[in-house]
Structures are given as C-alpha cells and as structure tokens.
C-alpha cells in the first residue's frame, strides 16, 4: 500500500486511540471521587473583596477559617503530616523533603470573584453559583475552574502519596502556597513570600495557575497542547482627563472635553502607538505549535526567518489575541463626563488598561501613551502600574522538568511556552525564585474558559485524575535528578 493511502488509516487509528483514551479517562473511578471533593470546596463561598468598612478583613478571615476546616476534613493526612502556617487566611503548607536544595512551591488560590449575573437563587446560571452541582460530567460553580480544581488536585496528590507511605519524604521540600486575596491583588501572597524569605527559602521551581491543557490554542492551530506560561506581561490602570469650560448645550463649542476624549480613543484604537515585536518566548511558542497548524499558517510559522517580520506587522490588525502576543495593548474600559443632556461638562475622563510587552516595558509604554494623550490636551493619571515579570529560562532545568513531567503524565501531549497576558500570584515570587511557571494540568475547553469570571463556571471533571497524577509526578520526580 502506498504512503498516500496509508496516511488516512494512520490518522483514523490515532483518532481511535485518542477517543479510547478519552473514554477511559472519563471512566476513571477516581474522577467521580475527586469531583465530589471539588464540589464540597465549591459549595463554600470564598468570595473575597478589597478590605473596606463594607468588607472588613476580620470578617473575611473568619469566613476563610470555616473553609480551612473543610480542607482539613477532605485531606486529613495532609493536615496531620504537613506543617501549616496561617497568614491571616492565606496558607503555607510545608512537607519536609529528604533535601532542601531544590524546594518546589505549588500554588492555587482559595478565593473567588463574585458570582456576577446571579441572584441569591443563581438566576442566569444553569446551577446556582455555589451549589457545587455534579451533573453532565461537570462540577458547576464559582471556583470550580479558577482555581479550586488545581488546589484540590495538589492536596489530593499529597494525600495519596502520604497514604502510600505515611513515614516517607518527598525528594525535595514541597510547599503549597494558597492565598485568599489573589482575585484583587491583596496582601495574601506577598505575606507568604515574606514568610518564605524569612525562612531563607529560595524555590527552585514555582508552579502556579495561568497555563493549562488547551484544545486548538490559537487560530489555525489544531490539537491539544500543554501551554506552559513562562512569564506575564506588565500592566497598568490609567485615567485620561480632559478639562475645559462647561456651558449650556444651546451654545455649542468646539474641542470640548468629551470631544477630545472621543478623538483620542478613536485614534489610539485605529492607530496603535505601540510597536509589535516577536520576543524569543513568542517565537518559541509559534515554532512549537507550527506542526499542528493548518495551511497556510503552517508554512508561515515554520519559516519565521522569512515571515517573522510580516507577521509582526500584519497580525495585530487581525485579532486581539495576536496583538496581545506581539506588543503592548491598551483597552479603554471606563468613561465619565456630564450628568445632564443640556450641559456640556468642564471635565471628562476615560479609564484604560495597559498590558506591556518586554520590548516596550512599563516606563517606555507609559511615556508613549502619555505623549499621545498630550497631543489631545489630556492629562494622564497612573492608578497602578507594574512591569513585566521575569521570564523562566526555556533552556533551564526547571522549565525542562515541567515539560518532562507533562510528557510522563500525558504521553504524546505537545508542549509550548507562552507569555501570560493575565495576572497571577506567581508574580510575587519573582523576588525569591528564577523559575516561576504558570501551568495547571487542567483541560480548558471553550466552556471552561468562558466560565472563568463569567456565568456558568464549570469544570469537566474527567481531567482531574490526570491533574492529580501530574502533581504526584512533579513532587516525586526530582529523586533521580542530579543537583
């Protein structure tokens, strides 16, 4: 049989094997057990808010103490054998290893965002947001994906390793870092990092949320990939203010504050002042996914020496995802101005969110947009800004170790590095760790991604056994690695 006729059969065979493997995963008896544990965690409302008179820190801390009691019930061996430090609701677990040369920190946060779009009964949700319903092969509710699933998998992995050998030790010191203020960038994780610094701990590897197992990770690319985040873009919240003289709408004027704001927003959205550039991690990502790309994308991605520059120039205009990969982005998110139809205001403002790329990091990007705003007579106020995080070395041993663990746990699953455009608590670890990886071994399909911070958050729980196995392998796999 010639090769042309053989290829379809091979493809059918691979598809059949993949389907069989997927069915086997769905039938894994552990999946339902893990789903019930995750359900119990989701049912407890761990919504966190910036500390205020309406949401005082003490009141929120008391609520998290109740949640900690649930964790102790679900994972008794963890709480009997690991040292637990409570830092005002955020927790640091320590499992002492045979060596402390290469400590590993595993991460996931306890808190969740408010269940927007729901009433107390959960209207607009198929199941109430804190029901923890286990139905249709999913665990439903706020936090099921972000990120009680990875917290459950980490704790369950340790629980099973202890059950197998209660007197044993992992090869290296293992820490589980779980903040209760991640969703609003509160003091939880910084306090954990401060505690580790006080103890003199310098993690060899930090593994947090941010990446995952994605189907068709970008337009034109087909298949499943473990997308391993190796850093985060910088970010800022800005306010642009236009001032002028107010007046009655019956005597209109030119160049009013609202008109200048509108012209500025329109220009920046049509003509981005930022420059696109393919950074090394982005190039590595495109090269990694290129074999799974459809034509003509594959041709371009496999010949970046030729098509790299055209991609830099054209891609940002094609999609927001491409723009985010290749440069600093700005999104206008809030606007304020007049409060009467017949009066034009003396002041108007617009809020914006920036995400910096490393080639135009915080200071440079802020200077670029400030200069553009000044041309429209606008003032710029920086509400918050932070630069790009460190990047994990793609050739470094810690990154390779994560890749190897993915291969060991999910044979044949392709891996790819990428730069995270969102924010995680892992950024706080930059000061004590050189290899902060953003990867949780959870399968994120379209519905999982859509539910994060949205309505109907739900996780297909057949992926949970693989997640537990990944963390077990990550914990134990350093045993034969030379220091």
Nearest to 466 by CA among 415, 417, 413, 401: 413
Q: Tokens 């012209």 label which residue?
A: 263
pTM to 2 decimals?
0.91
The backbone torsions φ and ψ at residue 247, rounded to the nearest 5 degrees and listed phi first, read: 180, 175
Q: What is the rounded distance in angstroms from the CA atom of residue 318 to the CA atom of residue 311?
A: 10
Q: Which residues contact 82 (CB under 8 A, 6 or more apart)?
A: 93, 94, 95, 158, 176
pLDDT score at 12 = 43
Residue 423: closest CA among 237, 283, 285, 218? 237
What is the structure's pLDDT at 321?
84
Distances (CA, A) of 142 to 110, 180, 338, 457: 11, 15, 37, 6
Q: Looking at 271-414, list the stretches that DSSP marks H as alpha helix, in order from N- to C-terminal side.
A: 280-289, 297-301, 304-314, 320-326, 362-374, 397-409
Contact 427, 386 (CB under 8 A): yes
Q: Output the pLDDT for position 481.
A: 63
pLDDT of residue 479: 78
CA 194/CA 191 separation, integer angstroms:
5
Rounded to whole angstroms, how far apart are CA atoms 366 and 127? 43
Phi, psi of 236, deg, nearest 5: -155, 150
| CB < 8 Å & 24+ apart, contacts of 255-258 | 255/377, 256/344, 256/345, 256/348, 257/337, 257/344, 257/345, 257/346, 257/347, 257/348, 258/337, 258/338, 258/344, 258/345, 258/348
| Tens-digit pLDDT string for the chain (483 aa) | 443 444 434 444 454 454 444 444 447 899 999 999 999 999 999 999 999 999 999 999 999 999 999 999 999 999 999 999 999 999 999 999 999 999 999 999 999 999 975 444 446 899 999 999 999 999 999 999 999 999 999 999 999 999 999 888 999 999 999 999 999 999 999 999 999 999 999 999 999 999 999 999 998 999 999 999 999 999 999 999 999 988 888 888 899 999 999 999 999 999 999 999 999 999 999 999 999 999 989 999 999 999 999 998 888 877 788 889 999 999 999 999 999 999 989 999 999 999 999 999 999 999 999 999 999 999 999 999 999 999 999 999 999 999 999 999 999 999 999 999 999 999 999 999 999 999 999 999 999 999 999 999 999 999 999 999 999 999 999 976 654
Tell me the sheet residues that pair with 420.
232
What pLDDT does residue 251 have? 87
Contact 210, 227 (CB under 8 A): no
Question: How far apart (Å, rounded) are the C-alpha atoms in residues 39 and 139?
Answer: 6
What pLDDT, on a 0 to 100 scale, did the predictor assign at position 123?
Answer: 67
In the three-class reduction of DSSP (H, G, I as helix; E, B as strand; rest coil), residue 416 is classed as strand
Dist. CA 85–CA 94, nearest whole Å: 8
* Cα–Cα distances in angstroms (integers) from residue 271 to residues 238, 274, 316, 389, in the given order: 19, 9, 11, 27
Q: Could you tell me the two tokens for 224?
A: 């499943």
């Amino acid at each position: 049989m010639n090769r042309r006729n053989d290829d379809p059969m091979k493809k059918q065979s691979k598809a059949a094997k993949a389907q069989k493997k997927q069915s086997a995963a769905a039938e894994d008896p552990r999946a339902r057990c893990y789903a019930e544990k995750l359900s119990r965690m989701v049912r407890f409302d761990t919504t966190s808010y910036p500390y205020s008179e309406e949401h005082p820190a003490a009141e929120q801390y008391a609520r998290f103490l109740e949640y900690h009691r649930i964790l102790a019930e679900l994972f008794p061996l963890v709480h009997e054998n690991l040292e637990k430090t409570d830092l005002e609701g955020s927790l640091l677990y320590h499992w002492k290893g045979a060596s402390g040369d290469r400590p590993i920190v595993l991460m996931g946060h306890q808190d969740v965002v408010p269940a927007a779009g729901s009433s107390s009964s959960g209207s607009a949700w198929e199941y109430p947001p804190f029901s923890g319903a286990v139905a249709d092969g999913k665990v439903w509710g706020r936090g099921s994906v972000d990120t009680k699933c990875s917290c459950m998998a980490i704790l369950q992995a340790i629980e099973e390793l202890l059950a197998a050998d209660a007197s044993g030790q992992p090869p290296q010191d293992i820490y589980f870092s779980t903040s209760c203020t991640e969703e609003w960038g509160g003091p939880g994780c910084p306090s954990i990092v401060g505690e580790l610094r006080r103890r003199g701990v310098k993690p060899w590897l930090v593994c947090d949320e941010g990446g995952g197992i994605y189907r068709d990770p970008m337009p034109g690319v087909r298949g499943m990939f473990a997308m391993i985040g190796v850093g985060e873009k910088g970010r800022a919240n800005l306010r642009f203010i236009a001032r002028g003289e107010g007046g009655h709408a019956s005597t209109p004027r030119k160049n009013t504050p609202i008109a200048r704001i509108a012209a500025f927003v329109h220009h920046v959205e049509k003509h981005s002042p930022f420059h696109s550039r393919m950074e090394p991690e982005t190039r590595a990502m495109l090269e990694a996914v290129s074999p799974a790309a459809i034509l003509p994308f594959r041709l371009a991605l496999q010949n970046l020496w030729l098509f790299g520059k055209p991609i830099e120039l054209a891609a940002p205009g094609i999609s927001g995802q491409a723009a985010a990969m290749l440069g600093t982005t700005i999104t206008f998110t809030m606007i304020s101005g007049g409060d009467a139809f017949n009066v034009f205001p003396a002041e108007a403002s617009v809020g914006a969110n920036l995400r910096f790329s490393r080639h135009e990091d915080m200071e440079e990007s802020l200077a670029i947009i400030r200069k553009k705003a000044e041309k429209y007579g606008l003032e710029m106020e920086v509400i918050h800004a932070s630069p790009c995080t460190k990047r994990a070395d793609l050739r470094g041993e810690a990154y390779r170790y994560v890749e190897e663990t993915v291969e060991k746990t999910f044979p044949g699953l392709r891996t790819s590095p990428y730069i995270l455009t969102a924010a995680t608590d892992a950024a706080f670890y930059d000061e004590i760790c050189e290899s902060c990886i953003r990867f949780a071994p959870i399968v994120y399909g379209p519905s999982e991604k859509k539910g994060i911070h949205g309505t109907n958050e739900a996780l297909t729980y057949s992926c949970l056994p693989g997640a537990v196995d990944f963390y077990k392998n990550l914990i134990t796999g350093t045993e034969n690695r030379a220091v």
